Chain A
């Protein structure tokens, strides 16, 4: 199967799903429509990832970062709200760019749910962490990527986006529709956790960014990674 055919196939799947999703939306079948939408939003990144023929070294580097965040998520599972995933994903984005950040986030969600249980929520987690990594990756070539304010901002966004998207699924699953009052209630009741996510992300990032970026920069220079 060549890369071109792979991508054509994925585009076709995307098209069919898009049509189906629109139809579900029209029918008011939000419970299925939302997860499919979330999956559709991750699809472009997956297609680009296949299309670019990501090299062996880049693939290996992304795999290591994914492994670290999966292990982090599993190890810290007993502590609610304290998950290094967003931080590792943001660091990957800052080091290796938007696509690597997205893939690390998405792959972490997909893989760690082999331990925690797969379900429609996987699509939302993939999207949430992927988007955080993507966002961080936009700054990978910028001079302000070690700026503490940027790190705080990314950390908070990482925490909020994850809560917002997972609560979106919870709301839709529980009420069958996206009821603003219900969504708000979930967001508010989950606020302490969101805060904890955000704070732990910021803490991780502020302490880890400098040493890790120094090391990944060296690696990029030495092996010509992501160049």
Chain B
């Protein structure tokens, strides 16, 4: 049970959507860095430092490769480091690469945080209101997946026992597997027609279908939604006004530190990303305290 579990899925979804939009449009280091730090902290609070550290090598690899891509493929910029094949390799391109890498890492981190706060099941219940048929399709597929795996195993076992899946020869083996796959398709399609009957028997397709309300919106959701709107207005201001638009080529070191209004806007954006850390962190702490009292 985490804090997000007690919120309406829509609140959680919108909150993370805002964070992702801010992260993906953050160009200047001053806007991106605080978001990156919050992403790391939020993920750390969710999964613990140990598992977070385990991901560091992969993250570094990604960072390095993105930097390299920019270094060797983007040839703009004034501070030339060296020439490669007659093309300039610039400091700006390298820095832009690092920034891109950090941005991608933040997006990946926030996405995995979202997946944890809003597991598939809850995300689907959110879809179900607005895209009822797609949501139903996804639900049905999720119901089918374990059965498909089971059936595939049963089919390979049963056909194998017939001696039809002769182990000699790669081509024969592939053919046997493909014929198993074709049996699986036929069998499951045939079975799924019964499913469809079950749906029609219970009134699928009638006009005026409703959705079960399992998670009513609470006061807390309203509070958070209000806070989100209030914070988003300044946080999105740079994007819409174009103020503080960042350009790596050429690098303007003086602009690294934003002026006060811009800094406040960035702070609002950071606040959106930081709040979940506190809410989830508080929860973890509470459980620790509760456990130590038991």
Q: Which residues of A are interface residues toward B (Cβ below 8 A)?
A: 1-3, 6, 9-10, 23-24, 27, 29, 31-32, 46, 49-50, 53-57, 59-68, 70-71, 84, 103, 107, 110-111, 114, 117-120, 173-176, 179, 181-182, 185, 204, 207-208, 211-212, 215-216, 219, 223
A–B complex contacts, Cβ < 8 Å, 5 sampled: A23-B240, A59-B140, A60-B195, A64-B185, A68-B148
- For chain A, what secondary structure do more than half of its interface residues adopt (helix, strand, loop), or is it mixed? helix
Asked, given contacts A56-B204, A174-B70, whether A117 binds B115 with beta carbons under 8 Å apart, the answer is yes
Q: A1-B129, A27-B242, A173-B104 are in contact. Are A223 and B193 (CB under 8 A)?
A: yes
Indicate if B145 sits at the interface (CB-CB under 8 A): yes
How far apart sit A202 and B284, CA to CA, in the bound complex (Å)? 52
Report the Cα distance A63→B20, complex, angstroms: 30
B166 to chain A, nearest CB (A): 17
Partner of A219 from the list B104, B189, B242 (CB cut-off 8 Å) is: B189
B229 close to chain A: CB less than 8 A: no
How many inter-chain residue pairs (CB < 8 Å) link A and B? 175
Q: Say whether A174 contacts B140, CB under 8 Å.
A: no
Instruction: Chain A residues near B175: list those with CB within 8 A.
Output: 207
For A107, the chain B residues whose CB sits under 8 A away are 134, 137-138, 141
Decide if A182 touches B69 in the complex (CB within 8 Å).
yes
Confirm or deny: B142 has a beta carbon within 8 angstroms of a beta carbon on chain A.
Answer: yes
- Output the least CB separation between A38 and chain B (Å): 13
Known pairs A6-B131, A60-B199, A68-B181; list 10 more (Cβ under 8 Å). Answer: A10-B130, A59-B140, A61-B192, A120-B20, A173-B104, A175-B96, A175-B100, A179-B74, A182-B69, A215-B189
Residues in A whose Cβ lies below 8 Å from that of B199: 56, 59-60
A117 to chain B, nearest CB (A): 7
Q: Which residues of B contact A (CB under 8 A)?
A: 20-21, 24-25, 27, 66, 69-70, 73-74, 96-97, 100-101, 103-104, 107-108, 111-112, 114-115, 120, 129-134, 136-138, 140-145, 148-149, 152, 174-175, 178-179, 181-182, 184-186, 188-190, 192-193, 195-197, 199-200, 204-205, 207-211, 239-240, 242, 245
B24 in contact with A46 (CB, 8 Å): no
Residues of B with C-beta under 8 A to A1? 129-130, 132, 209-211
In the complex with contacts A64-B144, A181-B73, A182-B73, A215-B185 CB distance below 8 A: yes
Which residues in B have their C-beta under 8 angstroms from that of A31?
24-25, 103
Which of A24, A56, A68, A120 sits near B107, CB closer than 8 Å?
A120
Q: Are A208's CB and B188's CB within 8 A?
A: no
Q: Which residues of A contact B97 (CB under 8 A)?
A: 174
Cβ distance B195 to chain A, nearest Cβ, rounded Å: 5
Query: Which chain A residues border B185 with CB–CB below 8 Å?
Result: 64-65, 68, 212, 215-216
The answer to whether residues A111 and B25 also contact, given A56-B200, A215-B182 and a CB cut-off of 8 A, is no
